[in-house]
Amino acid sequence: MERGPLLRTVASLMFPFMAVLVLYLLLNGHNRAGGGFIAGVLMAGVIGFQYLAHGYDQVPKFLCLPYRIIMAAGLLVSVVVGTVALIKGFPFLTSFHSSAHVPVLGVEMEFALAQAFDAGIFLLVVGGLMTAVLALRED
């Protein structure tokens, strides 16, 4: 399939902007619209767009990742986060909040266990969708 220079250029220029949007959805999604699933689907679309624009052999090397391992890591993170609540005697997937002072920035940052769960779901969705897309390519 002939891939024109316009498609390759647009795909390359849009990648960083779309990656920032994915990061925003991932980090902000627990409180508003978004989260690990939506960010994962969008990231898989962004990576798939790169494969479509450049072709499998010419895709940027930083996108040639072991997606099955990423999927397994995401599942492991999600299960471990859910199990932390069980260990503490709460129902599965109960979220805990904590805060830490960051001396370099001079700010107090809040963290929630749900954010770690969202990151695990993000890895699971990206790994699963990219594994499926690349498996279809082989057929």
Reported as a pLDDT band with limits 50, 70 and 90, residue 31 is: low
Q: Please give the model's pTM, rounded to 2 decimal places.
A: 0.85
Please report the pLDDT score of residue 45 as a whole number.
93
3-state secondary structure of 40: helix
68 and 132 in contact (C-beta within 8 Å)?
no
One-letter identity of residue 50: Q
Residue 129, CB-side half-sphere exposure with 13 Å CA sphere: 19
Least confident residue range of 27-31, 40-44, 70-74, 110-114: 27-31
Query: Residue 85 and residue 12: Cα distance in Å, rounded?
Result: 42
Return mean pLDDT, the chain. 87
3-state secondary structure of 100: strand
User: Per residue in 69-124, pLDDT tens?
Assistant: 999 999 999 999 888 888 888 888 888 887 888 888 788 877 788 888 899 999 99
Residue 104, classified by CB atoms within 10 Å of its CB into exposed (0-12), middle (13-18) or buried (19+), is exposed
* Residue 45 C-alpha from the chain's centroid: 11
Query: Residue 108 and residue 114: Cα distance in Å, rounded?
Result: 18
Query: Residue 23 and residue 68: Cα distance in Å, rounded?
Result: 21
One-letter identity of residue 23: L
Apex CA 36: angle with CA 30 and CA 39, to 5°?
110
Please report the pLDDT score of residue 134 as a whole number.
87
